[in-house]
């Protein structure tokens, strides 16, 4: 879109100057309109290079017929600017052979007035002018293609880098999980078995002891039994995969920073880490933050974002995703934002989405589990 307005501005200035240079007639206005129509409609034939070139050639012929020099007026120098812009557009979108044929055609239409006896520039000047313009465009064509090759190579390297980052992250996760499983197995085999043996020995001793000693041994048995249950709970936790919570959100942030070059400021205010949320609530927080970051990358065009977790007074858990806007534009809640709101409301929470002070804010509030149950 910016390139469209740039072309329109340059061509508009060139045609305005060309028409002012000569006497303005309805033919000039009609010719200018036909030129702009052909020039911008040529974009529809970019995939068919011959049609694209023919359309630009037709625009050049319309320019020549519209601004044809009339005796005794001087030749219109702005015509050369328009021809140069036509040739430049061809260099950008077609091969050098098509652009070369168009350049020869443009040289021919500029030499036509001279050969037919109309006021025009000297043939030597026109040949030198188009030779210099052609050399300049050839250099640009070489640089432009080299730039595209470098860009494609960089994109391929970036894609490979992201792939490697994902593989490294997956390998780290797998290694961490294997280590947790090994620790769980060691605890189960050593501490768990020894506590079980201890329970059995206490029970045997209790059955042989007197009443007072049996009462004391019963207390020891209950303590050992509680220790065994806590050990089994710890082993079960270690064996489980990390599917939610702060750690999952941190992994998401690290992944987005590495793969999309984001700058994410993550703040945990007092009470946020100790807030007791259900597994469903934590999954909701994770998904809403994921969708908010995706929405930010897709629509705001920025690379900076701030994420804040807090639990004011221990009553509610609040999360906020804020990103700066280059300019504030009206927005409507699409599928992504509506899904975020539905997720939060399904776990008895509230979601605010608004923009102000050149910032887009997604703020969610969830009831803390203990408070809700009490």
Is there a contact between 144 and 95 (Cβ–Cβ < 8 Å)? no
Is there a contact between 218 and 276 (Cβ–Cβ < 8 Å)? no
* DSSP three-state, residue 352: strand
> Looking at the DSSP assignment, which residues form a beta bridge with residue 266?
307
The model's confidence at residue 371, banded by pLDDT at 50, 70 and 90, is very low
The model's confidence at residue 171, banded by pLDDT at 50, 70 and 90, is low
pLDDT-above-70 percentage for the chain: 86
Average pLDDT over residues 324-349: 82
The model's confidence at residue 237, banded by pLDDT at 50, 70 and 90, is low
The model's confidence at residue 242, banded by pLDDT at 50, 70 and 90, is very low
DSSP code at position 271: T
Give the per-residue pLDDT at 320.
92
User: Which residues have C-beta within 8 Å of that of residue 302, sequence separation ≥ 6?
Assistant: 296, 323, 324, 325, 326
SS3 content of the chain, % helix, strand, coil (to 5): 70, 10, 20
- CA-based nearest residue to 65, from 88, 42, 38: 38
Which residue matches tokens 């007074």? 313
pLDDT at 125 over 70: yes
Rounded distance between C-alpha atoms, residue 209 and residue 198, angstroms: 16
Give the per-residue pLDDT at 276.
79
- CA-based nearest residue to 318, from 330, 327, 309, 331: 309
Rounded distance between C-alpha atoms, residue 203 and residue 100, angstroms: 100
More confident residue, 269 or 240: 269
pLDDT at 299 over 60: yes
Give the per-residue pLDDT at 372.
41
Beta-carbon neighbour count of residue 70 at 10 Å? 12
Which residue matches tokens 């941190």? 250
Please compute, for residue 330, the number of CA atoms within 13 A of its CA located in the half-sphere on the CB side: 0
User: Which residues have C-beta within 8 Å of that of residue 367, sequence separation ≥ 6?
Assistant: 316, 317, 348, 349
Rounded distance between C-alpha atoms, residue 353 and residue 343, angstroms: 14
pLDDT tens-digit series, residues 213-232: 888 888 888 888 888 787 77
Give the per-residue pLDDT at 365.
92
Give the per-residue pLDDT at 373.
41
* DSSP three-state, residue 71: coil
Which helix (DSSP H) or strand (DSSP E) does residue 237 occupy? Answer: helix 211-239
Rounded distance between C-alpha atoms, residue 271 and residue 134, angstroms: 69
Rounded distance between C-alpha atoms, residue 255 and residue 247, angstroms: 12
Is there a contact between 113 and 163 (Cβ–Cβ < 8 Å)? no
* DSSP three-state, residue 358: coil
Rounded distance between C-alpha atoms, residue 296 and residue 216, angstroms: 64
Give the tokens for residue 340: 């975020």
pLDDT tens-digit series, residues 22-76: 777 788 888 889 988 888 888 777 778 888 888 888 988 888 888 877 666 677 8
């Amino acid at each position: 879109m910016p390139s469209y307005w740039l072309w329109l501005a340059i061509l508009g200035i060139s045609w305005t100057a060309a028409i002012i240079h000569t006497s303005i007639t309805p033919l000039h206005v009609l010719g200018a309109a036909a030129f702009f129509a052909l020039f911008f409609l040529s974009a529809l034939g970019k995939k068919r290079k011959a049609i694209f070139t023919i359309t630009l050639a037709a625009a050049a012929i319309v320019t020549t017929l519209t601004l044809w020099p009339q005796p005794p007026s001087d030749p219109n120098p702005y015509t050369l600017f328009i021809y140069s812009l036509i040739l430049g557009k061809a260099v950008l979108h077609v091969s050098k052979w098509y652009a070369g044929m168009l350049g020869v055609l443009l040289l021919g239409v500029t030499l036509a007035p001279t050969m037919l006896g109309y006021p025009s520039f000297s043939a030597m000047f026109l040949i030198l002018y188009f030779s210099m313009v052609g050399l300049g465009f050839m250099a640009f064509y070489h640089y432009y293609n080299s730039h595209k090759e470098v860009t494609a190579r960089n994109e391929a390297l970036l894609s490979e880098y992201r792939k490697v980052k994902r593989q490294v992250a997956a390998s780290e996760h797998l290694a961490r999980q294997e280590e947790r499983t090994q620790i769980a197995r060691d605890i189960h085999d050593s501490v768990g078995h020894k506590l079980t043996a201890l329970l059995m020995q206490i029970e045997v001793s209790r059955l042989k002891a007197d009443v007072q000693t049996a009462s004391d041994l019963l207390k020891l048995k209950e303590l050992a039994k509680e220790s065994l249950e806590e050990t089994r709970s710890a082993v079960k936790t270690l064996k489980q995969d990390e599917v939610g919570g702060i750690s999952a959100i941190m992994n998401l942030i690290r992944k987005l920073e590495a793969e999309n070059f984001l700058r994410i400021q993550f703040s945990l205010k007092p009470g946020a880490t100790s807030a007791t949320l259900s597994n469903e609530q934590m999954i909701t927080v994770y998904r809403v933050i994921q969708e908010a970051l995706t929405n930010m990358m897709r629509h705001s065009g920025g690379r900076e974002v701030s994420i804040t977790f807090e639990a004011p007074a221990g009553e509610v858990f609040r999360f906020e995703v804020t990103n700066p806007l280059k300019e504030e534009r009206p927005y409507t809640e699409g599928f992504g934002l509506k899904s975020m709101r539905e997720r939060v409301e399904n776990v008895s929470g509230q979601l605010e989405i608004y923009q102000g002070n050149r910032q887009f804010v997604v703020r969610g509030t969830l009831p803390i589990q203990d408070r809700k149950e009490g």
